[in-house]
Amino acid sequence: MLKAVLFDLDNTLVLFDEPAFYERYFARICRSFSDIFPPEEFRNRVLRATMALCRSSGEVSNLRFFLDVFTEGCEQPITEIWRRFMKFYEDEYDRIEVEVKAPSGLHDGISWLHQRGLKLVVASNPIFPLTVQQKRMAWAGIDRFRFDLVTHIENMSFVKPRLEYYLQICEKIDAAPEECLMVGNDPINDMVAGATGMKTYLTTEVGEIDYSSLRLTVDEERAPLSIPEPDFSGPLADVTRVVRKLCG
């Protein structure tokens, strides 16, 4: 029996040119740190710390793990560094230029799922604080209070495409993987959820986009990930049809 539907956020619930957006994001945020790090060093620290998250043992939050790696060999206190990030997210993030579209059927679909009493999760890669996840949700007018859980850097201790990320969500919403449907546009980061026993739905709005600058690199020396084929695929608007079928 289906109990919960998990949605990726970027290019699943809200459509935009991710690589172009993150280029502009880096250009701006580098300036906020320019008295501490040269731009190139800042960017490298962010990328190194973000990629390191893939190897976390899950003992601390993603935030703690990220900051420990980000601040290696740096004299500034960790608290000051994070205060800077948060100030940027509060004051500057909204000024980054972005063109956004909501996928068709978004709001009706979410309302319908909500009314059916299903638990709803925004399963966005938890590498940003809640305020940033909410700002991107707001781009498409998504009401955070329809969701039982929004994953973010402070409430999770794993990232995609780790299976532990999906299992941690199950624990938080008290559902077994077999009772969940994961909906997302990313054939690796989102569809890997199938390996936990979750049903998966690959959305097709975006088609082929180059995510190479964004995907957290999977360490190739580790066991290669085996990604199950998606159980379903189609536009976001058809998720309700699949849910109807899964609910019997």
Interface with Mg ion by CB under 5 A: which residues? 8, 10-11, 185-186
Rounded least distance, CB 184 to Mg ion, Å: 6
Q: Which is nearer to Mg ion, 56 or 185 (CB)?
A: 185
Contacting residues for 175 by C-beta, under 8 A, at least 6 apart:
3, 4, 119
Rounded least distance, CB 214 to Mg ion, Å: 9
Q: Which is nearer to Mg ion, 11 or 56 (CB)?
A: 11
Query: Rounded to whole angstroms, what are the CA distances from 6 to 36, 52, 137, 183, 220?
Result: 39, 25, 14, 6, 28
The number of beta carbons lying within 10 Å of the beta carbon of residue 27 is: 12
Q: Which is nearer to Mg ion, 35 or 208 (CB)?
A: 208
Residue given tokens 């097709």 in the structure block: 204
Rounded least distance, CB 36 to Mg ion, Å: 31
CB-closest chain residue to Mg ion: 10
Q: Which residues of 201-229 are buried (b: 16+ CB within 10 A; e: fewer)?
A: bbbeebeeeebeebebebeeeeeeeebee
Q: Which is nearer to Mg ion, 81 or 200 (CB)?
A: 200
Q: Phi, psi at residue 69, to the nearest 5°?
A: -75, -45
Rounded least distance, CB 135 to Mg ion, Å: 16
- C-alpha torsion angle, residues 26, 27, 33, 34 (rounded to 10): 140
Rounded least distance, CB 206 to Mg ion, Å: 8
Calpha distance 23→63 (Å, rounded): 22
Q: Which is nearer to Mg ion, 185 or 196 (CB)?
A: 185
Rounded least distance, CB 29 to Mg ion, Å: 20
Rounded least distance, CB 13 to Mg ion, Å: 9
What's the Rg (C-alpha) of the chain?
18
Q: Which is nearer to Mg ion, 101 or 116 (CB)?
A: 101
Calpha distance 180→176 (Å, rounded): 7
Q: Which is nearer to Mg ion, 69 or 121 (CB)?
A: 121
> Is 32 within 8 Å of 87 (Cβ atoms)?
yes
